[in-house]
Amino acid sequence: MRSKIYLFLFCSALFISAFAQTPQKTLSEKDQKRDARKQHIAELIKKEEDGTLIYNKQFLFGFKLNTDGWTGLYEHGKSKNITTTNTWFMEIGERKSHKEEKLTSIGPDGFPSGNPLIYGKQNVFYNVNIGIGQQKLIGGKGPKNGVAVSAIYGGGFSAGLLKPYYVTVLDSSGNGAVDVKYQGTGDSVFLDPTRLISSAGFTKGFNQIKVTPGVIAHAGLRFDYGRYNELLSAIEVGISAEYYIKDMPIMIYTTPKKFFYNTYVAIEFGKRN
């Protein structure tokens, strides 16, 4: 009986030794990344329970619909502390006059013909802005509402770009067509409705752009409902103002001005890390 017990213990020791020497299966790189991702999300959820936005850097792209045009934007931010982020931004947009009204010529077949035109438009006004600012956290993401509210403000420099607005008109013989721009007071061709056909197109006049420097400033509120603080998905509302060193004429029958201001609403998407 004792020999059987010794034999059993000997076999058990061999089995345990063999199992211990068998190499354990390691996680694949894909599994490791998935586990790391799960752990990262768990940490973000834990941080979000505190209602704070914790990150080092963020970037976003957005589109603003202004009361006087549109603006595309890029913003890059670096966290200063738990409530403040220093930012720099770049914007490209177009300013329009409230007097603009698109007209479309009707062809002999009764259908619209050519590009729509804006009667009396003298210049297309684009602007390129670059500046710095800050984002101040007002209210963090609570466990119920899931929205962080921040104050946004900044300022910088602007380049106002005036591109001559060209229209296509019947030539003097009435048989052909030519592209013309506004030549100043008394221009009977540019403003003759009987000769207007259409606008000359988007690219016409880019080689004649005039640049005027200026300054810009904006302020607003950003409502961020991005998931886990990692994704930035926000709606921003605010006001913006621009001042240029020269008058920026857009329409012939309106007084040109140096100062522009508007209200805006923006949709923004980005990421934090």
Each residue's pLDDT tens digit, 11-48? 555 555 555 554 545 567 777 777 776 676 656 555 55
Q: What is the DSSP letter of 121?
A: B
Please tell me the distance from the alpha carbon of residue 159 to that of residue 210, in angstroms, as a whole number: 10
Residue 109's pLDDT is what?
A: 58
Buried b (16+ CB within 10 A) or exposed e, 151-182: ebebbbebebbbbbbbbbbbeeeeeeeeebbb
Please tell me the distance from the alpha carbon of residue 165 to that of residue 179, in angstroms, as a whole number: 10
> Which residue in this structure is represented by tokens 């670096």?
78
Q: State the DSSP H helix or E strand holding residue 43, giving kind and residue range, or none if neither.
A: helix 29-48
Residue 51's pLDDT is what?
A: 47
Each residue's pLDDT tens digit, 51-97? 455 678 999 999 999 999 999 999 999 999 888 999 999 999 999 99
134 and 84 Cβ atoms separated by less than 8 Å? yes
Question: What are the chain's domains?
Answer: 54-110+121-162+211-272 (2.40.160.20)
219 falls in which pLDDT band (50, 70, 90)? very high
Q: What residues contact residue 73 under an 8 Å CB cut-off, 6+ apart?
A: 61, 62, 63, 64, 89, 90, 91, 92, 266, 268
Q: What is the DSSP letter of 168?
A: E
The helix, strand and coil proportions of the chain, stated in percent and rounded to the nearest 5, come to 15, 50, 30
